[in-house]
Amino acid sequence: MADPRGSRAATYEAAPNIALVKYWGMRDPALGLPMNSSLSVTLDRLKTRTSVRFDPALPEDRFVLNGIEPSGGPLDAVVRFLDRVRALSGRTERADVVSSNNFQTASGLASSASGFAALAGAATTAAGLRLSPRALSSLARLGSGSASRSVFGGFVEWRAGRKPDGSDCYAVPLFGPRHWPALVDVVALVAGAPEKQVRSAEAMQSTVRTSPEYAGRQASLPARLRAIRDAIRRREGPRLFDLIMEECDDFRTVCETTVPTLDYLTPVSRRILDAVRALNEEAGTTLAGYTHDAGAHVHIFTLERSASRVRRRLEDVVGVSRVLTLHAGEGGRLVAGGGRAA
Ligand code: PMV
């Protein structure tokens, strides 16, 4: 039967992003409002594709990720997110959610960012809502902060805002995916990267409460974010690479000085950071800059002309299982659904 409120099924695809300025700490956990603005690159090639179907015959929500039905935390997070979409749309049916990643989940390749951006796009469309990209990004934030940025392609800033109600907190696309084609993200995947022990949302609040370095980091971030935005705008490779390493080192310092300490790297990750430092030293200029999130894999930004040199160097690091070459990619997109008929 045709549904007057629009389609009941939709499929949406979104890509992970890597933060060059990290989001780490919330000023309002209930609304998912961050302490600081952050800036990321949405990546090409890696994708999460999610289909959502609201069905009155379903007794409860069902979630399949990469062919497996997770229970506990991941399922609860999806159900909570669907509850928000039901509240917004007035729908009451349970949903069937089928999601797949074409990359490894939960180990620093930011599957929560692409995952919640894809879920937000698919669930709202299936529920008959037509949200603007900005509104979609604000909703995705409630699943995972970094998901707010994956709604957009290219270089994206998530503005922290100041208002208690969060109305000035949203992501904006700064430069499109084709702004800087020579910029390459060489990702060094670490063999046996451990699964995250503590969810980022909890870990970051523990940093806010306990790290003696956190206040200093917050004070330095606005100027660093402006400098990084400017280096991207002017396409200044070495300047950008220096700045993102400084930011990554600062992020790692607040994690390591958290009580109890947060250590996302393995000895292999640390060897990768050393290899990048050594490469720059030998070259006498900053050829490449590393960054990592709350995981063991490392993203190394460089320019196309140095990419094969950087790749070779990383492939020589013992314990690196694979090296991917990525670029800035497109934002989220609707793959199916959104028509009027159910
Ligand atoms: O989106 P969350 O809640 O998983 O937190 C992401 C935190 C970092 O990946 C470390 C930084 C960022 O801005 O993506």
Closest CA to 337 of 116, 7, 115, 98: 7
* Ligand 1 and 37: CB distance under 6 A: no
pLDDT of res. 342? 38
Taking residues 89-115, what's their average pLDDT? 83
Question: Residue for token digits 């960012």?
Answer: 113
- Which three-class secondary structure string do you get for the chain? CCCCCCCCEEEEEECCEEEEECCCCEEECCCCEECCCEEEEEECCCCEEEEEEEECCCCCCEEEECCECCCCHHHHHHHHHHHHHHHHHCCCCEEEEEEEECCCCCCCCCHHHHHHHHHHHHHHHHCCCCCCHHHHHHHHHCCCCCHHHHCCCCEEEEECCCCCCCCCCEEEEEECCCCCCCEEEEEEEECCCCCCCCCHHHHHHHHHHHCCCHHHHHHHHHHHHHHHHHHHHCCCHHHHHHHHHHHHHHHHHHHHCCCCCCCCCCHHHHHHHHHHHHHHHHHCCCCEEEECCCCCCEEEEEEHHHHHHHHHHHHCCCCEEEEEEECECCCCEEEEECCCCC
Q: Which atom of ligand 1 is nearest to the CA of 201?
A: 3
Q: How many angstroms is it from 147 CA to the middle of ligand 1?
A: 8
Of 21, 22, 36, 148, best ligand 1 pocket probe by most atoms within 8 Å of the beta carbon: 22
Residue 192 confidence (pLDDT): 83
For residue 338, the model assigns a pLDDT of 77
Q: Sign of dihedral through CA atoms 58, 93, 141, 206?
A: negative
Quick check: 109 pLDDT over 80?
Answer: no
Tell me the CA–centroid distance for residue 225 and ligand 1, in Å: 16
Burial (CB < 10 A; 0-12, 13-18, 19+), residue 148, is buried
The tens digit of pLDDT for each residue in 69-82 reads 988 888 999 999 99
Query: What does the pLDDT read at residue 275?
Result: 98
- 211: Cβ below 6 Å to ligand 1? no
Q: What is the mean pLDDT of residues 44-51?
A: 95
CB-ligand 1 contact for 293 (6 Å cutoff): yes
> Tell me, what's the pLDDT at 198?
82
**Is residue 200 lining ligand 1, measured as CB closer than 6 Å?**
yes
Out of 25-39, 264-278, 292-306, 328-342, pick the least confident: 328-342
Residue nearest to atom 9 of ligand 1 (CA): 293
Ligand 1 centroid distance, CA of 293 (Å) = 7
pLDDT attached to residue 72: 86
128 CA to centre of ligand 1 in angstroms: 29
- Segment 53-101, tens digit of pLDDT: 999 999 999 999 999 998 888 899 999 999 999 999 999 999 999 999 9
Amino acid at 110: A
What's the chain's average pLDDT? 93
Residue 35 has which token pair? Answer: 């302490």
What distance in Å separates the CA atoms of residue 282 and residue 291, rounded to the nearest whole number? Answer: 20
The pLDDT tens digits for 17-33 are: 999 999 999 999 999 99
Give the residue-averaged pLDDT of 128-154: 96
Greatest pairwise CA separation for the chain in angstroms: 68
Predicted confidence at residue 106, as pLDDT, reads 45
Is the bond into 194 cis (omega within 30 degrees of 0)?
A: no
Please tell me the pTM assigned to this model.
0.94
pLDDT score for 3: 54
Is the pLDDT score of 340 beyond 80? no
Rg (CA), the chain: 20
pLDDT of residue 6: 58
Q: With cut-offs at 50, 70 and 90, classify the pLDDT of residue 105.
A: low
How sure is the predictor about 341, in pLDDT bands with cuts at 50, 70 and 90?
A: very low
pLDDT given for residue 296 in this prediction: 93
Q: Mean pLDDT throughout 231-257?
A: 98
Q: Which atom of ligand 1 is nearest to the CA of 294?
A: 10
Pocket probe mutation, ligand 1, options 17, 138, 142, 146, max atoms within 8 Å of Cβ = 146
pLDDT tier, 110 (very low <50, low <70, confident <90, very high otherwise): low
* Residue 163, burial from CB neighbour count under 10 angstroms (0-12, 13-18, 19+): exposed
